[in-house]
Amino acid sequence: MRAVAYVANNDVTLLESGSTYFPALLAAIDAAATEILYETYIYAEDDQARAVTDALVRAARRGVKVRVLADWFGTGNRAACRLREAFAADCVHYRMFNPWFKRGTARSHRKIAVIDRALAFVGGINTNDDGLHDYAPHAPLPAPRWDFAVSVRGPLVDEIHREAQAQWLRAGHLPIVGRINLYRELRKPPPSQGDGPMRAGFVVRDNLRNRRTIMRAYLQAIGQSRKRVLMATPYFAPGRKFREALCRAAQRGVDVSLLIGVGEFRMQDAVASSFYPQLLAAGVRIVEYRKTQLHAKVAVVDHDWATVGSSNCDGLSLFVNQEANVVVRDAEFAATLARQVERGIADGVGVCMDDLRQLGWLRRCGHEMAYLLYRLTMRIFAIGYA
């Protein structure tokens, strides 16, 4: 099975952080004429989120069908319930994804908006203020959160719309016949491939047909890499196959650079650090981003493969959460994203073997214990994690 089904003749634009993303999103919502599908993991109660809410309400009041899906866990029960009350008063259709984990442990970590089936947004940017921490007490960040999304026009929007619509149906009380029909719809073959400019594909991760789709896309790209692999991720804790793919690429002469966010969760930092010796020994370059919260989930391979989305390189994103990424085969787009990642690397702090040797034995043991605990947890929640 192919990892990604590419569609030609798209226009995919990179959007860096909320300062670029939200103006484009709000303008699109205000211009909507028929339908808006909106998905987010965190829907905060700050000024930026209220601006999105106001735009969605304005759209609903002028007759646009607006559907909003927010993850219950990411948004928080109280905020999610208050959001339901606010939207109900203004004819905005609203659903929470998996409240109280009634459908297992999965979370909808996706960030998607589809406007009039003509324009789509996909990425890692939640509905919250770039200048504040994601979670309570929402203290100010030292610099705006660093993240990315893309806007998409062209044939790929149909695929994104179809998946967003299916997710909306899955989140509701869908009878068994409806679920069977939905499954049949999702089994339809992808659009035919083309050889035109700006080829792009939409890849999702779910717990049914697409359990390994995003990971397979990464592994295929890394396995075929010849010159470089640039990757930025807030949380680095992938399975064995992913780590070995990075090591093998570096060992055959590929320039492999990982930009990893640190400082948000101590346990996550310890787990990531437990992988450093193996990666550094293989020749992988590791840089820690400490300037502010790194929330970007992006990668560039060689000169023409790039991905932007919601999937982190950890067990939750690769094996548990509902995720969505856009993969682009285009040299100009890849070069643009590569420049941004390289800028982040320049702002980061490199890690070398000497740094690891200077760590005390107690701290090194702590890293290993953190990894063992993480691995045990993931084996419980994510069958197939190694």
Residues serving a catalytic function are 109, 111, 116, 295, 297, 302
- Burial class, 195, CB count within 10 angstroms (exposed 0-12 / middle 13-18 / buried 19+): exposed
CB 124 within 8 A of CB 293: no
Query: How far is 26 from 36, CA to CA, in rounded Å?
Result: 12
Shortest CA distance to 201 belongs to which of 166, 163, 247? Answer: 163
Query: How far is 299 from 218, CA to CA, in rounded Å?
Result: 9
Query: How far is 221 from 303, CA to CA, in rounded Å?
Result: 12
Element at 178 (helix H, strand E): helix 176-186
Query: How far is 110 from 210, CA to CA, in rounded Å?
Result: 14
Length of the chain: 386
Query: CA separation (Å) from 107 to 75, 117, 223, 321?
Result: 11, 25, 29, 5
* Residue 314 phi, psi dihedral angles, 5° rounding: -145, 175
Neighbouring-strand partners of residue 59: none
- Written in H, E and C, the secondary structure of 238-305 is CCHHHHHHHHHHHHCCCEEEEEEECCCCHHHHHHHHHHHHHHHHHCCEEEEECCCCECCCEEEECCCE
Shortest CA distance to 221 belongs to which of 178, 190, 256? Answer: 256
Query: How far is 256 from 250, CA to CA, in rounded Å?
Result: 6
Query: How far is 114 from 132, CA to CA, in rounded Å?
Result: 26
* Residue 41 phi, psi dihedral angles, 5° rounding: -85, -55
